[in-house]
Amino acid sequence: MMASDERALATWLAGRDDRELADIFLARGVSPSAPWKDFFDAADALLEKTSVDRAMIHLTRGELIALAAAVDGRPLPASAIPPSARLALTGDDGAPWHPVVSALRDIRAQVPDAFEPVEGGIDLAPASEEETLAAAERVFATVGSLADVLVAATHAPLARITSGGVSAADRRKLLDAGALGESDELDDIVGAAAAAGLLTSSGRDWTVSDSGARWLEASTPERWRLVVTGFRDALPSGVRTPSGGYLPVTAWMRRYPLDGEWERRSEGLTRIALQWGLITPDSREPAWARGLRRGDDPQTEELTRHLPAEIDRVYLQADLTAIAPGPLAPRLELRLRRLAARESRAQASTYRFTAESLTAGLTEGETADSIREFLTGLSLTGLPQPLGYLIDSTAARHGLIRVRTDAATRRTMVESGDPSLLDAVSVDQGLRALGLVADGDALTTGVSQETVAWALSDARYPVVSVGDDGRPVVLRHRVRQSSDRPEAPAEPHAALIRVLRGSHGDDAENAWLEREIVQAVRSRAVIDVVVRMPDGAERTFTLEATGFGGGRLRGRDQSSDVERTLPLSHVVTVRSVA
């Protein structure tokens, strides 16, 4: 590494604002706890061979070609993309630092293909009408699958494994519920939802965001628009275009030729593009995706023309089922599914009413009257008598168990006018974790009221949660409703940046001299020190550096073999003796 590079990069880093520094450190994989004391330490670390080699992996093919041209002194070819400052591999003039030049030459010798331009057109061939209809069917099925995933995650978080996917247990539940055609589809569906901000993760699970809850209320074309726009905006910079769009999907695979993980990631992104109708299996492009790729708004009208029309009525049957003869409007289906379990999903879907499904609706705030009003307005066949009886009997039984918080002890109380119900709760092995103990005619526990109420509801007990005023409290979904996007954590490199800023004074020249002297002392190096004498003349001393402190350099003069002490304020330059 050349000292001039380290000094120039340190100066360059000091001239970046905090946001730029944070982005550079994040892109270079810098640890927030890096033991750097100043920008010279930062520059030294960023120019280390291992650090440079890691950074080169994140360069696109066009950036590698541009770097090679700069190293060779050639003009940039048309396929080259001047590397941005995001990785701090070049100065403002675009010239790479010497360690970068060395690394690039090694890589070019090992992987020459990475520096070759790739042929590829700008536009994809348009999809035929048959291919367009098939793509619309995939969009319709994928939107439905994501809706099912979000509904499931609204009721209980989806466990997340280390790779970011969903646990095998939750995957099986979703598959058994008919949410997925194939188990392998789930990771791509979750990936698209996360990119669009519909699902967020705390690290151990996936939960539904506020925008995810709103998405469930939207129409199918609007649901598609929100997902594909979020997906496009979250694509890696290497496949994005200056207009805000993205490169043709067929060009993605070869964008990062040095990244061993990119092929797998590119395949996943391509699968998502296929699921959401941005390409066909033969890499053709439906008309509605063209504007999105170019950076414009997606053409929802074109997609809508190829989707089955949504309906707002169902047939209620005497066997306690509801049949939707077409895709039910999402906001209506969402409410219907709070009251009935879906038995089949297709363009014609079947839902079944049970005491348990109606109890779940009552627990979430429905009443017998509101259920009757909703279903009567939804039905093409009126409200069948058996369904009316089931609604009334379920509502009459609902609330036989009351859960409240005792004002004096702040413990949760479980009460009922039916002692047999409390006896059943007290011996229910599935509720042992609540630690319920008898307290007179009630049960009590230190577990929160909401947790107890949901546990009893899940166990199919007719429970109602009541507030301090004795009125029922609506139990909303237990999942934490997070913000539209994951809330941005505190900048992880903020403390490190503050340390670097605090050490950076106005006199960068003396700071660099001091650093060179300290390094020379550590290695007991022989250095030429140019000193300005009191009369203004400059004199060079060749010293073996032995110590530095109090603003003074100590060293043994190589010509006279005497110990000299030189004040830093008089030192003009320091250079190593070869």
Domain CATH code at residue 561: 2.30.30.100
- The answer to whether residues 410 and 338 belong to one domain is no
- The answer to whether residues 295 and 269 belong to one domain is yes
Q: Which of 353, 368, 397 is the C-terminal boundary of a domain?
A: 397
- The answer to whether residues 209 and 290 belong to one domain is yes
As a whole number of Å, the end-to-end CA separation of the chain is: 15
DSSP 8-class letter at 534? T
Q: Which residues pair with 416 in a beta bridge?
A: 401
Q: List Cα–Cα distances, 37 to 25, 40, 77, 114, in angstroms.
A: 15, 8, 40, 37
> 377 lies in a domain?
yes
> 530 lies in a domain?
yes
Overall domain count for the chain: 5
pTM, two decimals, is 0.77
Q: List Cα–Cα distances, 110 to 62, 73, 100, 274, 341, in angstroms.
A: 18, 21, 15, 34, 59
> 479 lies in a domain?
no
Phi, psi angle pair for 311, to nearest 5°: -115, 165
Question: Which are the contacts of 442, defined by CB distance < 8 A and separation ≥ 6?
Answer: 413, 414, 415, 422
**In 525-557, which positions are buried (b, 16+ CB within 10 angstroms) versus exposed (e)?**
bbbebebeeeeeeeeebebbbeebeeebbbbbe
For the chain, how many residues are written?
578
> 467 lies in a domain?
no
Q: Cβ of 73: how many Cβ atoms within 10 Å?
A: 6
Q: Report helix, strand and coil shares of the chain as percent, to nearest 5.
A: 45, 15, 35
- The answer to whether residues 343 and 364 belong to one domain is yes
> 476 lies in a domain?
no
CA angle 15, 19, 21 (to 5 degrees): 50
Residue in 305, 278, 301 with CA at minimum distance from that of residue 289: 278
> 493 lies in a domain?
no
- The answer to whether residues 390 and 450 belong to one domain is no
- The answer to whether residues 73 and 99 belong to one domain is yes
> 482 lies in a domain?
no
pLDDT of residue 124: 84
pLDDT digit string, tens, across residues 444-482 = 999 998 889 888 887 888 888 888 877 777 766 554 444
> 11 lies in a domain?
yes
- The answer to whether residues 236 and 270 belong to one domain is yes
Query: How remote is the C-alpha of 52 from its chain's centroid?
Result: 26
Domain span including residue 379: 315-397
- The answer to whether residues 200 and 285 belong to one domain is yes
- The answer to whether residues 428 and 440 belong to one domain is yes
- The answer to whether residues 298 and 167 belong to one domain is yes
Q: Which of 397, 424, 448 is the C-terminal boundary of a domain?
A: 397
pLDDT digit string, tens, across residues 170-204 = 888 888 877 887 778 899 999 999 999 999 987 78
pLDDT of residue 523: 77
**In 146-157, which positions are buried (b, 16+ CB within 10 angstroms) versus exposed (e)?**
bbbbbbbbbebb
- The answer to whether residues 108 and 23 belong to one domain is yes
- The answer to whether residues 109 and 135 belong to one domain is no
DSSP secondary structure of 154-199 = HHSPEEB-TTSSB-HHHHHHHHHTT--SSTTHHHHHHHHHHHTTSE
Q: Which of 81, 115, 149 is the C-terminal boundary of a domain?
A: 115
Per-residue confidence in pLDDT tens, the chain, 578 aa: 445 788 888 888 888 889 989 989 998 999 999 999 888 889 889 999 999 999 999 999 888 888 888 888 877 766 666 666 678 998 877 788 899 999 999 999 999 999 888 765 557 899 999 999 999 999 999 999 999 999 888 888 888 888 888 888 888 888 887 788 777 889 999 999 999 999 998 778 899 999 999 999 899 999 999 999 999 999 998 899 888 999 999 999 989 999 999 999 999 999 999 999 999 999 999 999 999 999 998 889 999 999 988 899 999 999 999 999 988 898 999 999 989 988 887 768 899 999 988 988 888 778 899 999 999 999 999 999 999 999 999 998 888 899 999 988 999 999 998 889 899 999 999 898 899 999 888 999 999 988 898 888 878 888 888 888 777 777 665 544 444 444 444 578 999 999 888 876 655 566 777 777 877 887 788 888 888 888 888 888 888 888 888 888 888 888 888 888 888 888 888 777 76
